[in-house]
Each structure stands twice: as C-alpha cells, then as structure tokens.
C-alpha cells in the first residue's frame, strides 16, 4: 500500500520524460536502486516466511518528494512456506519476469532478484534494457561494455565515488540477471553490498573492476569505452 504522501509517479514515467522537469541524475538513480534493494531484502529475509513480490518493475516503484522509493502493488505477492507447494501460474510484468518461471512454474525469492536486476539496469539506462536482456541469451556479460548500460542523456559522472556506485549497480544488476537462479545473489547480499560499498560478487563485465581501477582509469571507462 502506498501512503497518500507519496507522489503518484513512477520512475518509468520520469525516465520516459512523461513528466516535466529535469532527468534524474546519477545520485538519485543510485539511491532509488539502493532503496528498492533494501525493501526487497526486508520482504525476503525479515519475516517468518519470505514474501515474494512477483511484480518488481519500475512502474511499481513510487517516489516521494525526496525521491525516496516505495515498493507498491502487492496484488500478486506470494508468501512462501516450506511445507507447501510454491507452484504458480506465470504472473508479473512482461520484460521483468524471471525466465525459469516459464518452464518450472515455481516461484521463489530469486524471481524477484531477476526482476530487480532488470529494474536496476533500466534505471541506469533510462529505458527498458530489452536489447541487453536478449543479448544475454546469446552472449556472455563479458562482451557488454559499460557505456551500453548508461543513459546517454546524462553527462558521464566526474566524481569518483559516484562512478564506483554506478559500477557497483551495474555489476550487481548483471549478477541478478544470471540465467541460473541458484547463481543469483540474495536480496540481502545485494542490499548489504550497497550498504558496505563493496562488491562481494564476481565482476561480470570484463571492461572494468571496481577493485583495481584508479581515478584516471575510471574516467577512461566512462568517457572512452
């Protein structure tokens, strides 16, 4: 349920320029991703039984006047219980649904993790990453360049910390999009990685490593590749 104090706008509306005003800058986008990660971690790990949202998408993320995100629309959410079947019909928003649902029909927290990965890439890119998702079916993330996941309407960040945060979001997003659900991180791991400002996951993009690059190299990554 979304409090009335929240603005009735979604990030998708903003990224598609359906509203007047400036395009959200990198810091705001990073904070939105972090906020949603924290909310999903709470749903998955802080209840007796995990709650799976099943429809994580930008159209279900609402923002208040301070650009703080709130996850909405729990109409198809599922409470997972270890002593009952978690099979279900495929539900959610096309373009965000975890691919394994099409043939297993089994819902798990990792379904939300995949959807979060799509949403995180969309926030970086400024539009739905349909082409990138399609390419992941045929190629490795090693072949994807950083510039391919950044919104071209924004200037490249000139702040080292912001640059590292963007890299972190990109790395985590691709980890969440792993076609093997067992290889995807938990939302608790994702949220903690954002809180501690480290990347405990394997780096999927060969063009950079947040652990190794100097400030000058970071600028090269954002301005050249």
Percent of the chain at pLDDT exceeding 70: 67
Asked whether 78 and 88 are in contact (CB, 8 A), the reply is yes
What is the pLDDT at residue 157?
A: 81
Neighbours of 186 (CB within 10 A): 18
Specify the pLDDT at position 45: 93
Tell me the residue range of the domain where 58 lies: 11-223
pLDDT given for residue 169 in this prediction: 92
Span 187-221, pLDDT tens digits: 999 998 888 765 544 444 444 444 444 455 445 44
From CA 72, how far away is CA 81, in angstroms rounded? 22
Cα separation, 219 vs 208, whole angstroms = 11
Q: What is the pLDDT of residues 63-106, one digit of tens each?
A: 888 888 988 876 555 555 555 555 555 567 889 999 988 887 78
Catalytic residue among 8, 55, 112, 151: 55
Tell me which of 183 and 106 has the higher pLDDT. 183
- Mean pLDDT computed over 136-155: 79
DSSP 8-state secondary structure symbol assigned to residue 160: H
**pLDDT computed for residue 67 by the predictor:** 83
Identify the pLDDT of residue 206. Answer: 42
CA 63 to chain centre: 16
Do the domain assignments include residue 1?
Answer: no
The CATH number of residue 148's host domain is 1.10.510.10
Q: Is residue 112 part of a domain?
A: yes
Domain presence at residue 130? yes
pLDDT of 185 above 80: yes
User: Is residue 191 within 8 Å of residue 185, measured between CB atoms?
Assistant: no
Residue 5 lies in a domain: no
The pLDDT of residue 187:
95
What average pLDDT score do residues 51-62 get?
A: 88
Question: Between 75 and 135, where is the model more confident?
Answer: 135
Mean pLDDT of the chain: 76
Of the candidates 213, 207, 218, 209, the one whose C-alpha atom is nearest the C-alpha of residue 160 is 218
Residue 22 maps to a domain? yes
The answer to whether position 127 is within a domain reads yes
Higher pLDDT, 57 or 104: 57
**Could you tell me which residue, 63 or 30, shows the higher pLDDT?**
30
User: Residue 149 carries which DSSP code?
Assistant: G
C-beta of residue 170 within 8 angstroms of C-beta of residue 162: no
pLDDT surpassing 50 at residue 7:
no
Percent of the chain with pLDDT over 90: 26
- Across the range 166-183, mean pLDDT stands at 90
How many domains, the chain?
A: 1
Q: What is the pLDDT confidence band of residue 155, given thresholds at 50, 70 and 90?
A: confident
- Report pLDDT for 55: 87
| Within a domain: 3 | no
Please tell me which residue, 187 or 10, carries the higher pLDDT value: 187
Is 55 a residue of the active site? yes
């Amino acid at each position: 349920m979304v409090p009335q104090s929240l603005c009735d706008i979604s990030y998708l509306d903003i990224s598609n320029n359906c509203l007047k005003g400036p395009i959200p800058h990198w810091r705001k986008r990073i904070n939105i991703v972090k906020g949603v990660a924290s909310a999903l971690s709470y749903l998955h790990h802080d209840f007796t039984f995990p709650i799976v949202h099943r429809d994580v998408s930008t159209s279900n993320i609402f923002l208040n006047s301070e650009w703080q995100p709130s996850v909405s629309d729990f109409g198809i959410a599922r409470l997972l219980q270890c002593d009952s079947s978690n099979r279900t019909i495929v539900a959610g928003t096309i373009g965000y649904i975890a691919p394994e649902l099409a043939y297993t029909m089994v819902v798990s927290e990792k379904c939300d993790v995949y959807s979060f990965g799509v949403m995180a890439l969309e926030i970086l890119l400024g539009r739905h990453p349909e082409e990138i998702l399609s390419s992941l079916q045929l190629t490795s993330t090693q072949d994807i360049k950083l510039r391919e996941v950044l919104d071209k309407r924004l200037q490249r960040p000139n702040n080292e910390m912001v640059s590292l945060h963007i890299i972190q979001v990109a790395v985590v997003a691709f980890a969440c999009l792993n076609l093997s659900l067992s290889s995807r991180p938990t939302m608790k791991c994702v949220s903690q990685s954002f809180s501690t400002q480290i990347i405990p996951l394997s780096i999927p993009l060969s063009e950079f490593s947040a652990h190794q690059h100097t400030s000058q190299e970071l600028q090269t990554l954002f301005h050249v590749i």
